[in-house]
Structure 1
């Protein structure tokens, strides 16, 4: 991909028979996402949520999109996320209780279990413990199937055939059915509250009429919960793998995590602390949302190029994050580059969570969750790959390891 697009800031290409324009220039990408975003709508290529409804945050209507972002914001803002930390830690420990020293674990499946249990346990409150656990387990199956969903090419075409994505369809049906039961119980008991779900259910217009049907509430919650989990699971899988390959990085990280846990974080420069630098570098090299698409809503000028209305415009955070002009030795894992490198506000050279009005609303939640999982796992276990393992990158719905079995050993 890098060789194909080298030296071409804007280039025509075809994806699955659909003509598109690929943009590699971070300044032009920022125009698409921020300064001229009104000229670009949601593109159909690579849309992970294409099988979900178009209500709520997936609505094409900008006013509705902003409204549902505001509804979700109280549960995802930094001050609220701080309250989740004790519950997050307990959930990670609970999942790890099944690990056994010397017995390989499927790290990606386990990270799905952890991130899904955290999402359900923090965003949907007031449910019986057994229901919360069942929702988390069913969501983890759905998240794992979503992660592995091909985005393009012959694999995507095969997956799109009727009945071809049986496991994904079953996983979505199983999770959605249980979630729908929870919503029905909430409607039967108006005095009950369940966090984010209750907020969606009680959203009403000026006349006091509910805006979303129970079915639409279910769709919106499925979208939010899968988006909150597939990305985290992929990022944490890469983080644990990199630690197993970089002993000096692991040593520095463990030291910093210990200090942070004790309330005495080490500041080794003017930049962010080592834990944050480590996670920033993981997200630079392995952005989960590695490719995106927009569509021009009218005739636009992008740099020196004129694009007619309806043009598919594709860009890749994977390539933007590996631009040698902005990141010297771009393929080297180096957390300390963030002591002197600062994500620019004038371009889109670092966009693991996107930018602009469509940027990830769950970014504060994600940063806190990643640090908590990293801290709790590494405090108890040292993970290593099996001898002779070769870990390949899978560019599917997320950018994840193709297969990642790791052997835990007690610290």
Structure 2
């Protein structure tokens, strides 16, 4: 992508046989996502995501999209997420306690276990511990298969053939079966339930009629739970890998987190602390949602470029985050660049969670979860890569390491 778009802020390309306009100008991307968003609808990537849900937040109906964002917001806002921290820590400790010194672990699979356990434990209440464990395990298998699903090109075409994605189909079926059983139990005992899943079940219109059927609730919950896990698992995998490659960064991170736990961290409101700078830099280099697509709903002019209705418009946070005009030495991992650089909300140079009305509603949840996981894992273990060769990047459903085996040793 970088080679194709070098010297181009906007270029017509063919993506999976479809004519598209690839936009690399952050000012124009902000127009698409914010100031002129009413002129753009969901594009090809959103349609591919609808194998999980065709209702709620992924609906073509903008009013329905906004309604279900508002419904989820009470469970994802910062004040609520703070309540989840003890449960998050317990879940991370439970997973990493199973690691054995010197025995390599598949970090991405383990991060799926952690993030899925956190999502189920915090967003679905009223379940028995056995049911929570079963649902978390099945969600973890689904998330692991989804992370590796190709989005574009020949690999995506092969994966779309009947029977080609047997593991993914089986994982999705098994998870939906468990989730449907949970929904049935909650419908039988609504007084014992709470949380996001119950909010979906009890959502009704002005006449008291349920807005979603049980099957639609299952679809929407599955979409939310997978979205909340595959992205964070990928970011955490890169975080642990980059720590292993940057000893000085690891030393500074451990010191900062120790101070944060003790309450002695310096409160410099002019700059984020080192832990936050570290995570911001991971998200700059490896944004999990690395490519996005919109479609023009009417004839528009984007910059000086007229685009007819129905034009596919594609942009990549990966490229925006590595623009040398804004980021000196853009491919270098440097958390301290955030001491002086601030993302400008007037453009879209830094959009790991998107911006505008369709930005990630789970951003506060994700920031807290990333900090907790990083803190607990690094307190217990020092991880080293199983090979000296750099890990390859896999641009699939998320931007994740192609394969990441790491060896834990006790701190």
The TM-score normalised by the length of structure 1 is: 0.98
Q: Report if aligned partners of 1:256, 1:266 keep a CA contact under 8 Å in 2.
A: no
Q: Report if aligned partners of 1:289, 1:317 keep a CA contact under 8 Å in 2.
A: yes
Rounded to whole Å, the distance in 2 between the matches of 1:16 and 1:273 is 42
Q: Report if aligned partners of 1:391, 1:402 keep a CA contact under 8 Å in 2.
A: yes
Q: Report if aligned partners of 1:269, 1:339 keep a CA contact under 8 Å in 2.
A: no
Q: Report if aligned partners of 2:75, 2:81 keep a CA contact under 8 Å in 1.
A: yes
Q: Report if aligned partners of 2:126, 2:186 keep a CA contact under 8 Å in 1.
A: no
Q: Report if aligned partners of 2:21, 2:311 keep a CA contact under 8 Å in 1.
A: yes
Residue 265 of structure 2 corresponds to which residue in structure 1? Answer: 265
Quote how far apart the aligned CAs of 1:46 are.
Answer: 6.7
Residue 385 of structure 1 corresponds to which residue in structure 2? Answer: 385
Quote how far apart the aligned CAs of 1:97 are.
Answer: 1.5
Residue 341 of structure 1 corresponds to which residue in structure 2? Answer: 341
Residue 169 of structure 2 corresponds to which residue in structure 1? Answer: 169
Residue 82, structure 1, aligned to residue 85, structure 2:
no
Rounded to whole Å, the distance in 1 between the matches of 2:103 and 2:389 is 15
Runs of 5+ consecutive residues of structure 2 not aligned to the other structure: none
Residue 222 of structure 1 corresponds to which residue in structure 2? Answer: 222
Quote how far apart the aligned CAs of 1:3 are.
Answer: 1.5
297-306 or 264-273: bigger deviation: 264-273
Q: Report if aligned partners of 1:46, 1:152 keep a CA contact under 8 Å in 2.
A: no
The equivalences for 1:65-80 within 5 A come to 65-80=65-80
The TM-score normalised by the length of structure 2 is: 0.98
Residue 366 of structure 1 corresponds to which residue in structure 2? Answer: 366
Runs of 4+ displaced beyond 6 Å: none
Quote how far apart the aligned CAs of 1:125 are.
Answer: 1.0
Rounded to whole Å, the distance in 2 between the matches of 1:64 and 1:43 is 17
The equivalences for 1:53-202 within 5 A come to 53-202=53-202
Residue 294 of structure 1 corresponds to which residue in structure 2? Answer: 294
Deviations along 1:103-127, one digit per CA (max 9) or x if unpaired, are 0000000000000000000000110
Rounded to whole Å, the distance in 2 between the matches of 1:211 and 1:50 is 19
**Residue aligned with 2:295, SS:** strand
**Residue aligned with 1:384, SS:** strand
Residue 237 of structure 2 corresponds to which residue in structure 1? Answer: 237
Q: Report if aligned partners of 1:48, 1:397 keep a CA contact under 8 Å in 2.
A: no
Rounded to whole Å, the distance in 2 between the matches of 1:282 and 1:114 is 19
Rounded to whole Å, the distance in 2 between the matches of 1:46 and 1:224 is 14
CA 1:170–1:194: 2 relative to 1, 3 Å: farther
**Residue aligned with 1:191, SS:** helix
CA 1:337–1:267: 2 relative to 1, 3 Å: farther
Residue 322, structure 1, aligned to residue 348, structure 2:
no
Residue 36 of structure 1 corresponds to which residue in structure 2? Answer: 36
Residue 15, structure 1, aligned to residue 25, structure 2:
no
Q: Report if aligned partners of 1:127, 1:194 keep a CA contact under 8 Å in 2.
A: no
Residue 399, structure 1, aligned to residue 399, structure 2:
yes
Q: Report if aligned partners of 1:106, 1:405 keep a CA contact under 8 Å in 2.
A: yes
CA 1:103–1:261: 2 relative to 1, 3 Å: same
Runs of 5+ consecutive residues of structure 1 not aligned to the other structure: none
Deviations along 1:183-242, one digit per CA (max 9) or x if unpaired, are 011112232214111100000011101110000000000000000000000000000000
